[in-house]
């Protein structure tokens, strides 16, 4: 078996919270590439896009670095939204929807089931 076939993009054997978080990481990353990321700096935007994609891949392969990277990118994404729009973000439908998905990702990653699983099983 080649080394490439040992890697996976999704891991259905993980808790549903982590599986859902991986899907949201990939979706957020693709939307960030297509539509751009709301951030004050291009470097922060690049970190968010590639951090979510690499973090999702790392989580699917049960890597501690992937979990940490996904959490960092997801939290920075929420902070970047508030940094650019402030609380005015809560009055626009587009801003509110973006915030809901971003906060849902953070919640899935930091859920006790996700944290316990990664603490026990990730290498």
Domain assignment present for residue 8? The answer is no
Triad 94, 20, 87: Cα angle to 5°: 30
At 51, list the tokens.
Answer: 């951090």
Q: Is the pLDDT of residue 1 over 80?
A: no
pTM: 0.91
Task: Decide if 77 is inside a domain.
Answer: yes
Using the Cα atoms of residue 56, residue 61, residue 62 and residue 68 in order, give the sign of their dihedral. Answer: negative
Please give the mean pLDDT across all residues of the chain. 92
Mean pLDDT of 84-94: 81
Calculated CA dihedral for residues 31, 44, 23, 10, nearest 10 degrees: 120
Per-residue tokens: 55:
């973090």
Cβ atoms of 89 and 83 closer than 8 Å: no
Which domain, by its residues, includes 82?
A: 16-121
Number of domains making up the chain: 1
pLDDT tens, position by position, 18-71: 999 999 999 999 999 998 888 888 899 999 999 999 999 999 999 999 999 999
Q: Is residue 4 part of a domain?
A: no
């Amino acid at each position: 078996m080649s080394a490439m076939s040992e890697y996976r993009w999704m891991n259905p054997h993980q808790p549903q919270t982590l599986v859902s978080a991986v899907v949201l990481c990939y979706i957020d990353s693709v939307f960030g590439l297509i539509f751009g990321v709301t951030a004050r700096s291009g470097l922060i935007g690049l970190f968010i896009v590639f951090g979510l994609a690499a973090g999702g891949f790392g989580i699917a392969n049960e890597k501690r670095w992937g979990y940490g990277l996904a959490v960092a990118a997801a939290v920075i994404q929420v902070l970047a939204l508030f940094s650019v729009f402030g609380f005015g973000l809560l009055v626009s439908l587009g801003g509110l929807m973006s915030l809901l998905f971003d906060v849902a990702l953070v919640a899935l990653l930091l859920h006790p089931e996700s944290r316990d699983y990664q603490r026990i099983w990730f290498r």
